[in-house]
């Protein structure tokens, strides 16, 4: 009986101690949480006080919506350069660019001296069928002058519902008077992939990673295989100045050339946010040699593809160090209030390399030959990269942060014959390359021509650079 009594009281004592410990922990946790919430509410009260003071005392009546949007954007942009708030309109525009299709005319345009200049009409689109030509100047839209509009505002007016007409007033060199052209809008698809045969080598240029990219790459490889035939030496995958785009498209394009193994790893704040994408059997290039071109304008999704093919030794990376954007942005819709683009993870190559603020180093470093007239304009301007962006995410530990490097040159010659990196890649695939020293003769590694593309699109959705000099499709 004494043993039973002793066991009973021991059990009772241990249960009491366990209960007291649990209660103490819960109390401490609640106290800590309560304290944190209390501090947060104080800060929110401060924000409310400042907002009311601005609304009541600012020299001009402010726009309440603009104030709140700016406050939200300020909060997000203070986290890192790639987190931001998107208004409902910006969110809709982003979705259009992500889908890669919209209702429009089918021309690439830019702004020049206050009017819209046609860079080029897209084949088989309403603009091409209506006879619009490169270098045409558009001065009026439906008889309303473009003067005073930004490029984005003018493009928005030219886009619209399918089968609706718009009247363009055109000024064309060689014609004395302006003339009107009526164009009926249709579905315009942005082809993210351009390809052609370079003799016995297939050339594939990927400009962005939207919803059409993977399908377009498949089509391009199939077309070139038919054109060149069984004697094809290999493929050049040109990712230069590609600012990124959709993560799933980067994975799919990498998978196109891999038989097995990891493609990319994403690691978030919590374990459940850590994911790994693996390749499936099937190489659309049948094991042919691949050269991937990168430069300082290759970012995000481009770096995922280059890193995966490099780690698996499936491709030789040629060019200069990439931008170094190794973070993943997730688009979180806010109903009718737009959306937020939030950095939620870092990504790593198959060998567990983080390229955040470091970039992908090429296997063969080839600097692009920059014309003398451009060298004089650029002066001592340093290349831009993730590491040069204020508030960028650090590359993990302090030791890794010491290895951060800014990007590299992003100039690409328009003439393929003068494109140093492309010509070296072609000779490499053909087995006639003489070595990088010969290709690099006379180049300037530190030069970066203006205007450089502004990579940093996140890999969950693309963020086009805000650059009025860049052609805009519509």
Mean pLDDT calculated for residue range 290-305 = 95
Distance CA 461, CA 192 (A): 14
CB burial string 276-300: b at 16+ within 10 A, e below: ebebeeeeebeebbbbbbbbbbbbb
Q: Is residue 330 part of a domain?
A: yes
* Whether residue 385 sits in one domain with residue 340: yes
Q: Is residue 84 part of a domain?
A: no
Cis peptide before 451 (omega within 30 of 0): yes
* Whether residue 239 sits in one domain with residue 221: yes
The 8 Å CB, 24+ separation contacts for 451-455 are 452/296, 452/297, 452/383, 452/384, 452/410, 453/241, 453/243, 453/297, 453/410, 454/243, 455/242, 455/243, 455/244, 455/297, 455/298, 455/299, 455/300, 455/302, 455/323, 455/325
Active site residue 406: no
Which residue among the candidates 325, 327, 358, 406 is catalytic per the annotation? 325
* Whether residue 117 sits in one domain with residue 9: no
Distance CA 114, CA 111 (A): 6
Contacts of 285 (CB under 8 A, 6+ apart): 221, 234, 235, 256, 257
| pLDDT over 90 (residue 348) | yes
* Whether residue 331 sits in one domain with residue 250: yes
Q: Is residue 45 part of a domain?
A: yes
- The chain-wide mean pLDDT, for the chain, equals 84
* Whether residue 205 sits in one domain with residue 164: no
Q: Is residue 73 part of a domain?
A: no
How far does the chain reach from its first CA to its final CA, in angstroms?
91
| pLDDT over 60 (residue 180) | yes
Whole-number pLDDT of residue 283 = 97
Closest to 322 measured CA to CA, from 292, 347, 298: 298
Q: Is residue 471 part of a domain?
A: no
Query: Which is more confident, 8 or 414?
Result: 414
Helix axes 2-57, 64-77, angle to 10 degrees: 130
Which tens digits make up the pLDDT trace of 363-421? 999 999 888 777 766 655 667 788 888 888 888 655 555 567 767 888 899 899 999 99
Last residue of a domain, one of 165, 189, 213: 189
Whole-number pLDDT of residue 27 = 54
Distance CA 194, CA 211 (A): 15
Grade residue 319 by pLDDT with cuts at 50, 70 and 90.
Answer: very high
Q: How far is CA 84 from each of CA 35, 71, 142, 248, 292, rounded to the nearest angstrom?
A: 29, 11, 35, 21, 31
What's 335's domain CATH number? 3.90.226.10
Q: Is residue 96 part of a domain?
A: no
Which residues are paired to 118 by β-bridges?
109
Query: Which is more confident, 274 or 226?
Result: 226
Q: Is residue 357 part of a domain?
A: yes
* Whether residue 309 sits in one domain with residue 458: yes
* 440 and 456 Cβ atoms separated by less than 8 Å: no
* Whether residue 321 sits in one domain with residue 297: yes
Last residue of a domain, one of 45, 61, 77: 61
* Whether residue 278 sits in one domain with residue 132: no
Q: Is residue 400 part of a domain?
A: yes
Mean pLDDT calculated for residue range 321-341 = 93
Which residue among the candidates 83, 84, 195, 300 is catalytic per the annotation? 300
* Whether residue 300 sits in one domain with residue 158: no
Global pTM exceeds 0.85: no
* Whether residue 149 sits in one domain with residue 286: no
Whole-number pLDDT of residue 112 = 80
Which residue among the candidates 80, 93, 311, 419 is catalytic per the annotation? 311
Query: Which is more confident, 120 or 131?
Result: 131
Range of the domain at 14: 2-61
Last residue of a domain, one of 189, 212, 227: 189
Active site residue 325: yes
| pLDDT over 90 (residue 223) | yes
| pLDDT over 50 (residue 456) | no
* Whether residue 256 sits in one domain with residue 360: yes
Whole-number pLDDT of residue 23 = 53
Q: State how many domains the chain has.
A: 3
Active site residue 302: no
* Whether residue 220 sits in one domain with residue 159: no
Which residues are paired to 195 by β-bridges?
204
């Amino acid at each position: 009986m004494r043993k039973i009594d002793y066991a009973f009281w021991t059990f009772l004592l241990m249960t009491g101690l366990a209960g007291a410990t649990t209660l103490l922990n819960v109390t401490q946790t609640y106290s800590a949480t309560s304290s944190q919430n209390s501090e947060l509410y104080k800060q929110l009260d401060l924000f409310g006080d400042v907002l009311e003071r601005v609304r009541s005392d600012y020299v001009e009546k402010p726009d309440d919506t603009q104030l709140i949007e700016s406050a939200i954007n300020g909060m997000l942009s203070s986290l890192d350069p790639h987190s931001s708030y998107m208004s409902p309109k910006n969110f809709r525009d982003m979705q259009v660019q992500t889908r890669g299709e919209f209702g429009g005319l089918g021309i690439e345009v830019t702004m020049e001296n206050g009017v819209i200049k046609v860079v080029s009409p897209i084949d088989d689109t309403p603009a091409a069928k209506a006879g619009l030509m490169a270098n045409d100047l558009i001065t009026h839209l439906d008889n309303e002058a473009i003067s005073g509009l930004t490029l984005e505002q003018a493009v928005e007016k030219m886009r619209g519902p399918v089968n609706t007409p718009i009247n363009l007033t055109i000024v064309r060199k060689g014609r004395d008077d302006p003339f009107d052209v009526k164009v009926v809008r249709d579905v315009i698809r942005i082809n993210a992939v351009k390809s052609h045969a370079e003799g016995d080598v297939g050339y594939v240029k990927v400009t962005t990673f939207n919803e059409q990219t993977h399908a377009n790459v498949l089509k391009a490889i199939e077309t070139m295989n038919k054109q060149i035939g069984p004697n094809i030496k290999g493929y050049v995958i040109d990712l230069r100045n590609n600012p990124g785009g959709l993560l799933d498209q980067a994975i799919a394009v990498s998978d196109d050339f891999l038989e097995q193994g990891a493609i990319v790893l994403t690691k978030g704040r919590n374990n459940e946010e850590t994911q790994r994408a693996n390749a499936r059997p099937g190489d659309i290039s049948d094991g042919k040699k691949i050269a991937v071109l990168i430069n300082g304008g290759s970012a995000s999704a481009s770096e995922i593809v280059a890193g995966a093919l490099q780690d698996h030794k499936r491709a030789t990376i040629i060019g200069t160090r990439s931008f170094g954007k190794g973070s993943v942005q997730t688009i979180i819709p806010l109903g009718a209030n737009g959306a937020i683009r939030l950095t939620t993870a870092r990504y790593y190559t198959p060998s567990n390399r983080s390229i955040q603020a470091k970039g992908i180093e090429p296997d063969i470093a080839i600097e692009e030959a920059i014309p003398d007239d451009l060298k004089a304009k650029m002066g001592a301007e340093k290349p831009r990269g993730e590491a040069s962006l204020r508030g960028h995410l650090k590359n993990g530990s302090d030791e890794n942060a010491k290895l951060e490097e800014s990007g590299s040159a992003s100039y690409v010659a328009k003439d393929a014959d003068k494109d140093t990196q492309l010509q070296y890649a072609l000779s490499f695939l053909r087995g006639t390359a003489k070595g990088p020293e010969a290709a690099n003769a006379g180049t300037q590694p530190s030069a970066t021509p203006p205007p450089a593309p502004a990579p940093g699109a996140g890999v969950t959705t693309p963020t086009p650079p805000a650059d009025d000099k860049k052609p805009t499709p519509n």
